[in-house]
Amino acid sequence: MKLTQEQIDQFHTEGWLLLPELFTAEEVDLLRREATTIYEQNRPEVWREKDGKPRTAFAAHKYNEAFRLLGAHPRMIGPVEQVFGERVYMHQYKINAKSTFTGAVWQWHQDYGTWKRDDGMPEPRAMNISIFLDEVMPINGPLMLVPRSHLAGDLKASHDLETTSYPLWTLDEETVTRLVNDGGIVAPTGKPGSMLMFHGNLVHGSAGNITPYPRKIVYLTLNAVSNYIRKPTRPEFIAHQDFAPIETVDDDALVRLAREQKRAA
């Protein structure tokens, strides 16, 4: 799959791009079922909110077949390699739950801030991809983006170890206010299967989810192979150290797995 020049221009100017319903209902139903099974498992890769509900599951492409296929899917890898002009490997893979009623905030941050400080990533040449597993609505804690904030470069940040169960390099209120005065805030919403791409330096965060509507999103970070991390400090399941370029699977790989599972049921 290839992006149009207009889509590439929007990504470079605004720092983000939404591709609505890139994956079909059949493909997303499979992924949603598998995510629920993963969250029930008691394993180090599954992190929980302070109340015990799932917050995120790391590295699912290493222990779940459906998420392995998603992580090597040509509809996702194609556009990213097109933007970077280079092959990519998987730097990080997480399925964020934003659970009903208690899904907690993600403070304002830039992802490259963490990749640089904690992983020794040389440049912001890693792409964030979000794939919506549930419908993302204005009310269930959508990801909020500050358009054009990626042009501000790598900003001063402090390490927040308190607010949530997940340590994050977060931005201060003054910096966020200044950037929002320029770019505003957008919260891309859409049906399950939609895919959002955003720049590693784009300022983003999300509010809590107090609704009965879950908001599961898969976040994949695809790093240009030449930009591999130099000083990892986090566990391998959070910041991967297999720098081999991803070999894509067939475009219908997820559909075939969904049908196999149905036949076996």
Nearer to Mn ion, 14 or 111 (CB): 111
Q: Please tell me what DSSP assigns to residue 240.
A: -
Q: What would you report as the CA-atom Rg of the chain, rounded to the nearest whole angstrom?
A: 17
Nearer to Mn ion, 198 or 254 (CB): 198
- Residue 108's binding partner among Mn ion, ligand SIN, none (Cβ under 5 to 8 angstroms by kind) is none
Q: Site residues for Mn ion, window 110-149 (CB under 5 A)?
A: 111
- Contact flag: residue 204 with ligand SIN (CB under 6 A): yes
Q: Phi then psi for 100, rounded to 5 degrees?
A: -60, 140
**How many residues make contact with ligand SIN (CB under 6 A)?**
8
b/e map 110-132, b = 16+ CB within 10 Å: bbbbbbbebbebeebbbbbbbbb
- Residue 132's binding partner among Mn ion, ligand SIN, none (Cβ under 5 to 8 angstroms by kind) is none
Nearer to ligand SIN, 73 or 204 (CB): 204
Return the range that interacts with Mn ion (CB under 5 A); candidates 57-65, 104-112, 182-190, 223-231: 104-112
Contact between residue 133 and residue 99 where contact means Cβ atoms under 8 Å apart: no
Nearer to ligand SIN, 23 or 106 (CB): 106
Contact between residue 148 and residue 214 where contact means Cβ atoms under 8 Å apart: no
For residue 164, the minimal CB distance to ligand SIN (Å) is 10
Nearer to ligand SIN, 143 or 238 (CB): 143
- Residue 217's binding partner among ligand SIN, Mn ion, none (Cβ under 5 to 8 angstroms by kind) is ligand SIN
Question: What stretches of the chain show up as alpha helix (H) in DSSP?
Answer: 5-14, 25-40, 65-71, 74-84, 111-119, 173-183, 253-264
- Contact flag: residue 206 with ligand SIN (CB under 6 A): yes
- Contact flag: residue 189 with ligand SIN (CB under 6 A): no
Q: Site residues for ligand SIN, window 105-164 (CB under 6 A)?
A: 106, 143
Strands (E), 81-173: 88-96, 106-109, 126-132, 144-145, 158-160, 168-170
Sheet holding 46-48, edge to edge: 16-19, 195-199, 126-132, 217-224, 88-96, 54-58, 46-48
Nearer to ligand SIN, 133 or 143 (CB): 143
Which class for 135: exposed (0-12), middle (13-18), buried (19 or more C-beta within 10 A)?
middle
Residues forming the site for ligand SIN (CB under 6 A): 96, 98, 106, 143, 204, 206, 217, 219
Residues forming the site for Mn ion (CB under 5 A): 111
